C-alpha cells in the first residue's frame, strides 16, 4: 500500500469572509500525480499554499508524514526568483539547504553546478544560463523556477500553474520532466492545472474544486488513463 506523505482532515479554507473549501480529507501518496483543477477563484492557489505550510487553514488540519530524509517544495505562481541574479545562480539556490553559507560564498560545489546545468539543458534553457533573470520571458522564468525547485530534490512537490505561460508542446515536456523527477524518487506531485488534456494525460487523481459550493469538491481517479 502506498505511503501517505501528507494528509488532511476536514480541512477548511477561508479568504477574508469568503469560504473557499470545507471538509476536505485527502491523502497524498507516494508515486502519485494529483491535479488540482477548477475555475479561477475556486481556491487552487490557497489550497496548495496551505498544504505546503505557507498558509494556516481556517479549520481542520494538515498532517505531514515526511521524515528528515524527505523534503517538501513548491513552485509558486509568482515564481519568487531573484531578478538580479542569472538563471544558473537562481537554479543553484535550490541547493542551499544542503550546504553551509561559507561553502557557497564564492562558488557552489562542482556537483551542484553540474546538476543545475543539466536541469537547464533538460528544460531547453542552455542558451540562457548566464542571462539575468529579469530579462527572461515569463515562460523561461517558469522553467527556471522549476529547475531551481527540482534541485532541492523534493519528495513532495506542489506546483501552482507551472506551465501556464508555455505553448502546448513545451508544457507537455515540462510536466513530463516534473512527473518523472518526483515519481523517480517515489514522491508525490500536486499540480494546479487549467488544461483538461494535460490533466487527463498526466494525473492519477484529479481534485476538482467548486467555486460556488465549498463542500462541492470531488476526487476523480484517472489511473485507467495513465
Per-residue pLDDT, averaged over 60-83, amounts to 91
- Look at 102 and 122; give whichever has higher pLDDT: 122
Helix axes 168-184, 138-151, angle to 10 degrees: 10
Query: What pLDDT was estimated at residue 224?
Result: 61
pLDDT bucket at 105, cuts 50 / 70 / 90: low
Per-residue pLDDT, averaged over 127-142, amounts to 96
Q: Is the pLDDT assigned to residue 216 strictly greater than 70?
A: yes
CA-nearest of 47, 16, 21, 29 to 158 is 47
The domain made up of 1-71+155-164+186-226 is a member of CATH 3.40.1360.10? no
Angle at CA of residue 96, ends 77 and 120, nearest 5°:
60
Query: What pLDDT was estimated at residue 226?
Result: 55
- Look at 99 and 7; give whichever has higher pLDDT: 7
Give counts: helices (H), strands (E), the chain.
6, 10
Instruction: Give residue-wise pLDDT tens across range 9-63.
Output: 999 999 988 999 999 999 999 999 999 999 988 999 999 999 999 999 999 999 9
Q: Is the pLDDT assigned to residue 225 strictly greater than 60?
A: no
Instruction: Give residue-wise pLDDT tens across range 140-168.
Output: 999 999 999 999 999 999 999 999 999 99
Burial (CB < 10 A; 0-12, 13-18, 19+), residue 216, is middle
Mean pLDDT for the chain? Answer: 93
Name the grid cell of 207: 481534485
Q: Is the pLDDT assigned to residue 106 strictly greater than 90?
A: no
State residue 151 phi and psi, 5-degree precision.
-70, -15
Domain residue limits, the chain: 1-71+155-164+186-226, 81-153
Amino acid at each position: 500500500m502506498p505511503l501517505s506523505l501528507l494528509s488532511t482532515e476536514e480541512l477548511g479554507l477561508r479568504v477574508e469572509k469568503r469560504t473557499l473549501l470545507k471538509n476536505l480529507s485527502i491523502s497524498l501518496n507516494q508515486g502519485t500525480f494529483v491535479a488540482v483543477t477548477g475555475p479561477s477563484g475556486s481556491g487552487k492557489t490557497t489550497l496548495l499554499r496551505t498544504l505546503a505550510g505557507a498558509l494556516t487553514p481556517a479549520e481542520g488540519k494538515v498532517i505531514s508524514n515526511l521524515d528528515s530524509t524527505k523534503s517538501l517544495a513548491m513552485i509558486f505562481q509568482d515564481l519568487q526568483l531573484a531578478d538580479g541574479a542569472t538563471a544558473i545562480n537562481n537554479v543553484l539556490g535550490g541547493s542551499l539547504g544542503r550546504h553551509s553559507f561559507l561553502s557557497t560564498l564564492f562558488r557552489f560545489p562542482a556537483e551542484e553546478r553540474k546538476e543545475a546545468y543539466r536541469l537547464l539543458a533538460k528544460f531547453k534553457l542552455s542558451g540562457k544560463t548566464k542571462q539575468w533573470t529579469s530579462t527572461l520571458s515569463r515562460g523561461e522564468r517558469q522553467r527556471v523556477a522549476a529547475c531551481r525547485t527540482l534541485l532541492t530534490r523534493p519528495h513532495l512537490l506542489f506546483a501552482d500553474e507551472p506551465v501556464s505561460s508555455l505553448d502546448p508542446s513545451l508544457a507537455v515536456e515540462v510536466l513530463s520532466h516534473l512527473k518523472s523527477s518526483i515519481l523517480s524518487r517515489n514522491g508525490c506531485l500536486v499540480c494546479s492545472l487549467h488544461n483538461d488534456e494535460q490533466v487527463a494525460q498526466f494525473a492519477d487523481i484529479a481534485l476538482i474544486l467548486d467555486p460556488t459550493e465549498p463542500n462541492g469538491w470531488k476526487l476523480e481517479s484517472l489511473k485507467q488513463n495513465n
